[in-house]
Amino acid sequence: MKMKKGLIRSDPSIMMGKPVIAGTRITVELILEKLAAGETIEQILEAHPRLTREAIQAALAFAAEALKADVIYPVPEEVK
């Protein structure tokens, strides 16, 4: 999956520097949270008319690329 250049921006003066969809204040994090909660792409597009399907795909590609970094992410054990 290749991210289209220019769709994801990070600017310290916008949303505290979190990666956002260019020209909006919609964070990559928000898109991921909505998808993880079970919202469909269509529901997200309806709720945020300035978003495009391409922008959502760019957010997913950005997140996938960010997770390739050599970082250890703590994952809590599931409580039984």
Which pLDDT belongs to residue 38?
Answer: 98
For residue 1, pLDDT beyond 50: no
All structural domains of the chain: 8-66 (1.10.10.10)
The runs of H, that is alpha helices, within 1-77 are 28-36, 41-47, 53-66
Q: Are 66 and 10 in contact (CB under 8 A)?
A: no
Structure tokens at 53: 């399907």
19-70 tens-digit pLDDT = 999 999 999 999 999 999 999 999 999 999 999 999 999 999 999 999 888 8
